[in-house]
Structure 1
Amino acid sequence: MWGFFSIIGLIVVLYYIIYLILWIVLDSDVELAFKERFGKPISVLEGKICWITGASSGIGKSLALELAKNNVKLVISARRIEELNKVKEECLKIAPNLKEENVLVLPMDLLNFDSHESKFKTVLDTFGCLDILVNNAGRSQRVKSWDSIDINVDRELFELDVFSVVNLSRVVVRYFKAQKNGRGHIAITSSGSGLVPVPFSPSYCGAKFAVNGYFSALKVDEPTIDVTCFCPGPIATPFLEECFTGSPDAKHGIPVSPNERRMASERCGKLFAVAIANKTMLSWVGLFPISALLYIVQYFPNLRKIVMVILGRKGMQAIREGEKKED
Structure 2
Amino acid sequence: MSWGLLLALCALLLLVVQLLRFLRADGDLTLMWAEWQGRRPEWELTDMVVWVTGASSGIGEELAYQLSKLGVSLVLSARRVEELERVKRKCLENGSLKGKDILVLPLDLTNTSSHEAATKVVLQEFGKIDILVNNGGRSQRSLFVDTSLDVYKELIDLNYLGTVSLTKCVLPHMIERKQGKIVIVNSLMGIISAPLATGYCASKHALRGFFNGLRAELVTYPGITVSNICPGPVQSNIVKNAVTEEVTKSVGNPGDQSYKMATSRCVRLMLISMANDLKEVWISDHPFLLAAYLGQYMPTLTFWIIGKLGKKRIENFKSGLDADSSYFKPLKKKHD
TM-score of the pair, normalised by structure 1: 0.90
* One-letter amino acid of the counterpart of residue 284, structure 1: W
Distance in 2 between the 1:121 and 1:80 partners?
Answer: 21
Distance in 1 between the 2:22 and 2:51 partners?
Answer: 32
- Structure 1 vs Structure 2 CA RMSD: 2.3
Q: Which moved more, 1:183-192 or 1:159-168?
A: 183-192
| Aligned residue-pair number | 319
SS at match of 2:240: helix
Distance in 2 between the 1:46 and 1:194 partners?
Answer: 30
Distance in 1 between the 2:17 and 2:83 partners?
Answer: 44
SS at match of 1:241: coil
Partner of residue 268, structure 1: 266
- C-alpha contact (below 8 Å) 2:156/2:203 kept by paired residues: yes
- For structure 1, the residue ranges without an aligned partner over 5 or more in a row are none
What displacement does 1:270 show? 1.3
Partner of residue 135, structure 2: 136
What displacement does 1:14 show? 4.0
What displacement does 1:74 show? 0.6
SS at match of 1:75: strand
Residues 192-207 of structure 1 mapped to structure 2, 5 A cutoff:
192-207=188-203
What displacement does 1:71 show? 0.8
What displacement does 1:248 show? 2.3
Deviations 1:6-65 (A, max 9, x none): 666555544443333222211111111221221111111100000000001100011111
Partner of residue 146, structure 1: 144
* One-letter amino acid of the counterpart of residue 52, structure 1: V
Residues 101-120 of structure 1 mapped to structure 2, 5 A cutoff:
101-120=100-119
SS at match of 1:185: strand
- C-alpha contact (below 8 Å) 2:256/2:325 kept by paired residues: no
Partner of residue 285, structure 1: 283
What displacement does 1:297 show? 1.4
Distance in 1 between the 2:173 and 2:255 partners?
Answer: 39
Percent same amino acid at aligned positions? 34
Distance in 1 between the 2:323 and 2:276 partners?
Answer: 27
Partner of residue 64, structure 2: 64
- C-alpha contact (below 8 Å) 1:285/1:291 kept by paired residues: yes
Larger RCO (alpha carbons 8 Å, 6+ apart): 1
* One-letter amino acid of the counterpart of residue 199, structure 2: S
Quick one: structure 1 residues 190 and 169, their matched pair in 2 at CA, closer, same or farther if it must change by over 3 Å?
Answer: same
- For structure 2, the residue ranges without an aligned partner over 5 or more in a row are 317-321, 332-336
Q: Which moved more, 1:3-12 or 1:283-292?
A: 3-12
Distance in 2 between the 1:66 and 1:146 partners?
Answer: 37
SS at match of 2:114: helix
Partner of residue 190, structure 1: 186
What displacement does 1:104 show? 0.8
SS at match of 1:228: strand
